[in-house]
Structure 1
Amino acid sequence: MNSLLFKNGALLDPLQTELLTGYEVLVEGGTIKEVSDRPIKSANARVVDLGGKTIMPGLIDLHVHVVAVQFDLAGQVRLPNVFVTLKAVPIMQGMLRRGFTTVRDAGGAGFALKEAVSNGLAQGPRLFVSGRAISQTGGHGDPRARSDFLDSDAPCACCVRVGALGRVVDGVDALRAAVRQEFQMGADQIKIMASGGVASPTDPIGALGYSEDELRAVVVEARARGTYVMAHAYTAESIQRAVRCGVRTIEHGNLIDDPTAALMAKHGAYVIPTLIAFEALHHEGEKYGLSATSAAKIDTVRSAGLRSLEVYKRAGVKMGFGSDLLGEGHRLQSDEFLVRAQVLTNAEIIASATTIGAEVLGMTGKLGRLEAGAFADILVVDGNPFKDLSCLTEQGKHIRAVIKEGQLEFGDLN
């Protein structure tokens, strides 16, 4: 069993607001054996002298699309499956290099990709997958352009390609069957589209996704499997409907208001803002193939992003870390830290990418903190993230080592 004993570092505990000195961390195999403010003795462990660097838990991104290999999602559906799969591999590697040892895929990635990473066939973060996101006809997950008619007897092209992030399903019974199919295929949680969106061609942002009966049916099926539903939603009305129907996490949530945030807090719902996504779409979307229709919708939600953080904070809604980037935009993942820093404290932002992420995933005690019994997901960082979040940016430039389950993935321990 490989053992590592980290000494002479500054421990970042997300439950604190300052680094802790004098702590040592013992790793055995893939888990943390001991964390102590007294010297730890181990006969077999390799001693790693951190030289005063920060040792902290691996980061968690709760909203990624590892198979979103280009901005033009509708065009991506037509790409050969092997192209999309191979292009996803460096995207996952990039996430891990930036220190994200765990990510929740919000539509597209399935069991096979998750297993490929778990078994070492591909390098990347630990994946919690949603399978294909579920959308009503003409909703955010329906990539089809407008046409004279839709042939109801024809197979839906968005259901048979690796590059399709979603599937189109209508009606309570069909939704129940679709959710069961996604679980059978290995989904960890279910993603639905509860409002219109930016990157979809035929739905206004203010459109409501699904009836309340349909929303409840999806939630009931997820709860029957001991898991939950995450919902794409922008407007206050769409968020209210989703939360009342039992949705656990709201994705984006830019157009929130105070009463709706209070409702979320009452129900214990989480929000996963993804502000960097709108910066990327605004500055680079058209350059990399985003449709003119989608580009025109961006500013509606982009301008409300920072204000939404203030509303959620005021109401006490827990905010997880999300990025939701596409294609070339994946490189901007860590810039979400800097965008949020305009409103939130560094400690609040770090918690969003560690302890709150672990809560959402049902992995408290295993992820998000360096504590006995947790997975040995560890970052060694030059700098103090509590003081300056930029040490977590620049593609991992200041992250000297990335360790996932006790294995060194990037950097060195010398």
Structure 2
Amino acid sequence: MWLSGGTVVDGTGSDPQPDRTVLVEDGRIVELDGTPPAGAEVLDCSGLTITPGLIDAHVHFGLSSPIEASLTRGLSVAELAADMFENCRQTLDAGFTTVRDTGGIDGGLAGVVAKGKVPGPRILQCGPVLCQTGGHGHMASEWEPTADWTDHHIPGLRSMSMLCDGPDEMRRNAREAFRRGAEFLKLCVTGGVVSRHDKLTDTQFDVAEISAAVAEATARGTYVTVHAHNNAGIRNAVAAGVRCVEHGSQIDEETAALMAEHDVAHVPTLAVVHALLDDAAEAGLPANIADRVGVALQGQIDAIHASRAAGVRIGSGSDLIGPKQDGRGRELLLRSEIETPMDALVSATRVNADILGIGADVGTVEAGKRADLVAFRGNPLDDPKLFADRSAVALVVQNGAVVKDAR
């Protein structure tokens, strides 16, 4: 299959390459030059801009329904599953060929997508979040007995979190997450914006607890990423050996330098903050959540600048929650307003692939890589609003197969 005549932006940060021809064979990119022979399958991409398949490094497919209703059995399991399937479909339709689910689903959803039974992106998942009792990720009502929290799990579909208090419980639950098919671990080491029982300034887990999870992940040849807002929690996590920080809304110059020294990546999440400011109720959350959101927004913008100046690898994640997750590309538009559209694209392709540990396979348009490709009408580097416009995504190729063709 030949993608002919498009402008290629390869995800490495190099300048756009007009009028290129991308040859795909057996799911891989073979070359970016050449002339299609007579009778070849040719996709005319004239006027389109071809980029690597986009990667969202922070999704929550397990929160694809109104959150309060989904956690209080206000919805059937069938409806929860239907909403997750639709979220997967919309994500692929928007040009995201890979995602990292940072807590909520288990191997069940990832498996049906991988088998082709549900259209969706390649999913790397950590299973349930590991959090402390009463910490971020423990989403039970105040009056619900803690012992009842596991009753909310739906094996094979969704398990929001497992509670860990002390290194031994952390080790046990890390092993349980891996038994269920987790590909990495996610811990909550500070309070969060949508938390019920904590503040953004709270630290959660001590170094010994985090280290227990890191040891288990290391034994499996993988890594730990952490939900973290404040610097004290981030410093604990870096000391324990984690490889990535999600959100990082209070990262300052000192903390960014520490992260760079230890090669700890940073995945900001701007789209969710804007979505909650627009309408928290739309996600099925209380309106007063907005009181925390403004702090997290400006903090993340400042943190991006601090991380960039320190040389930290900066990825890209949307963190969208609730039933309206069709604006996943908005994250790249928001990043384009802080840095440049090229920075936003590279973060959502090459850098994200590197953070996820799949950089040898995807993330750039280069010979030998898997053929995960997106073609936009127009050039999003000139008009970054195209990143957030699903109708501007004219063509999506995943693993060498055309999964959307709206040319």
Select between 185-194 and 336-345 the one with higher mean Cα deviation. Answer: 336-345
- Tell me: CA distance 1:265–1:307, structure 2 relative to 1, closer, same or farther (3 Å): same
- Tell me: CA distance 1:46–1:213, structure 2 relative to 1, closer, same or farther (3 Å): same
Q: Following TM superposition, by how much is the alpha carbon of 1:289 offset from its aligned partner in structure 2, in angstroms?
A: 2.6
CA distance in 1, matches of 2:365, 2:229: 34
Unmatched tracts of structure 1, length 5 or more: none
Q: Following TM superposition, by how much is the alpha carbon of 1:231 offset from its aligned partner in structure 2, in angstroms?
A: 0.3
Matched-pair contact (CA < 8 Å) for 1:71–1:288? yes
Matched-pair contact (CA < 8 Å) for 2:11–2:365? no
- Tell me: CA distance 1:92–1:308, structure 2 relative to 1, closer, same or farther (3 Å): same
Q: Aligned letter for 2:245?
A: I
After superposition, the C-alpha distances for 1:323-350 in whole angstroms (9 at most, x for unaligned) are 0011233122111122112221111111
Give the equivalent residue in structure 2 for 1:315.
Answer: 310
Does residue 140 of the first structure (1) align with residue 136 of the second (2)?
yes
Aligned pairs for 1:2-17 within 5 A = 4-17=1-14
Please point out which of 123, 126, 130 is paired with 2:122: 126
> Secondary structure at 2:63's aligned position in 1?
coil
CA distance in 2, matches of 1:81, 1:25: 43
- Tell me: CA distance 1:360–1:316, structure 2 relative to 1, closer, same or farther (3 Å): same
Structure 1 residue runs of 4+, over 6 Å off?
none
Matched-pair contact (CA < 8 Å) for 2:313–2:351? yes
After superposition, the C-alpha distances for 1:41-75 in whole angstroms (9 at most, x for unaligned) are 55773122222421221000000011212353574
Matched-pair contact (CA < 8 Å) for 1:365–1:371? no
Q: Aligned letter for 2:264?
A: A
Q: Aligned letter for 1:14?
A: G
Please point out which of 319, 331, 340 is paired with 2:326: 331
Does residue 32 of the first structure (1) align with residue 26 of the second (2)?
no
Give the equivalent residue in structure 2 for 1:340.
Answer: 335
Does residue 224 of the first structure (1) align with residue 211 of the second (2)?
no
Count of aligned pairs between the two proteins: 405
Give the equivalent residue in structure 2 for 1:351.
Answer: 346
Give the equivalent residue in structure 2 for 1:281.
Answer: 276
What RMSD over aligned residues (CA atoms) do the two structures have, in Å? 2.0
Aligned pairs for 1:15-414 within 5 A = 15-36=12-33, 39-40=34-35, 45-73=40-68, 75-76=70-71, 78=73, 79-147=75-143, 150=145, 152=147, 156-160=150-154, 162-292=157-287, 294-394=289-389, 396-412=390-406
Identity of aligned residues (%): 33
- Tell me: CA distance 1:204–1:181, structure 2 relative to 1, closer, same or farther (3 Å): same
After superposition, the C-alpha distances for 1:268-293 in whole angstroms (9 at most, x for unaligned) are 11111001111111221134431255
Q: TM-score, normalised by structure 2?
A: 0.94
> Secondary structure at 1:286's aligned position in 2?
helix
> Secondary structure at 2:113's aligned position in 1?
helix
CA distance in 1, matches of 2:282, 2:356: 35
CA distance in 2, matches of 1:309, 1:177: 35
Matched-pair contact (CA < 8 Å) for 2:132–2:164? yes
